[in-house]
């Protein structure tokens, strides 16, 4: 479990395609002294398992399914990625509950720099893939490339996000150009509520049909 509060920007040091999976090596922006093989680390919002480490570089295996449903397959040597270690019991929850399970890939439609005092900020418009629109709620939470963000506005399949200076400096987001793809994870609480409501609705409808016979 993560919070979407990115700890820093890491760098892909190598990408090796295997017959059954792909191996990534990532240089972390923090010490891995307390990280063990088998621990989880989120890379651009994807929960990965550390398989090997040396100094600040760790390796992780990427399954074909993960490559298919995320942007990780586009990473090359030198790519910059958002990195976050998992939440520890007792830590402050600064963002929101993030599983590191990407729901879909969105598209960055536009990036607008807004001049303001004391600092400028960015407004991003992101196209949400089909099936995730219902989880996008104004003033709700969404995870974008591993970053916990608040949805400013929702219009059909588009969401607007405000990127404050701190997020600009600590993540890769404002370095993206229009057309870039982004890993999106909807708020897990909304997903559970939606699933429960659908299950209750189906049960109720089934009972009504039985009564009408």
Q: Over the stretch 124-159, which tens digit does the pLDDT of each residue have? A: 999 999 999 999 999 999 999 999 999 999 998 999
Domain segments of the chain as ranges:
8-84, 104-193
Question: What are the φ and ψ backbone dihedral angles of 89, each rounded to 5 degrees?
Answer: -60, 125
Cα–Cα dist 111/168, whole Å? 12
- Quick check: do 8-84 and 104-193 share a fold? yes
pLDDT averaged over every residue in the chain: 92
72-86, 124-138, 159-173, 193-207: segment of lowest average pLDDT = 193-207
Q: Which fold has domain 8-84?
A: Elongation Factor Tu (Ef-tu); domain 3 (2.40.30)
Contact 2, 99 (CB under 8 A): yes
The enclosing H or E element of 189 equals helix 188-212
| Better-scored residue on pLDDT, 198 or 160 | 160
- Distance between CA atoms of residues 70 and 66, nearest Å: 6
Q: Output the pTM of the full model.
A: 0.89
Q: List Cα–Cα distances, 115 to 112, 120, 207, in angstroms.
A: 10, 5, 57
Do 49 and 61 meet the contact criterion of CB atoms below 8 Å apart? yes
Which fold would CATH assign to domain 104-193?
Answer: Elongation Factor Tu (Ef-tu); domain 3 (2.40.30)
**Contact call for residues 101 and 47 (beta carbons, < 8 A):** yes
Tens-digit pLDDT profile for residues 98-114: 999 999 999 999 999 99
Q: Of 146, 156, 69, 135, whose CA–CA distance to 105 is shortest?
A: 69
């Amino acid at each position: 479990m993560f919070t979407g509060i990115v700890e820093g920007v890491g760098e892909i040091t190598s990408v090796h395609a295997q017959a059954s999976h792909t191996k990534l090596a990532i240089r972390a922006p923090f010490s891995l002294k307390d990280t063990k093989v088998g621990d989880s680390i989120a890379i651009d919002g994807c929960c990965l398992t550390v398989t090997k480490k040396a100094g600040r570089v760790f390796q992780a295996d990427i399954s074909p399914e993960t490559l298919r449903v995320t942007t990780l397959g586009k990473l090359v040597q030198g790519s910059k990625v958002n990195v976050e270690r998992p939440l520890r019991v007792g830590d402050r929850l600064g963002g929101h509950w993030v599983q590191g399970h990407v729901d879909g890939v969105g598209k960055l439609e536009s990036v607008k720099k807004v001049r303001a005092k004391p600092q400028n900020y960015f407004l991003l418009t992101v196209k949400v893939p089909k099936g995730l629109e219902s989880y996008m709620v104004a003033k709700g939470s969404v995870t974008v490339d591993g970053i916990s963000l608040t949805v400013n506005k929702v219009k059909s399949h588009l969401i607007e996000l405000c990127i404050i200076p701190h997020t600009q400096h600590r993540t890769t987001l404002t370095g993206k150009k229009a057309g870039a793809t982004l890993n999106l994870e909807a708020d897990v609480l909304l997903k559970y509520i939606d699933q429960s409501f659908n299950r209750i609705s189906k049960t109720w409808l089934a009972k009504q049909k039985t009564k009408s016979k």
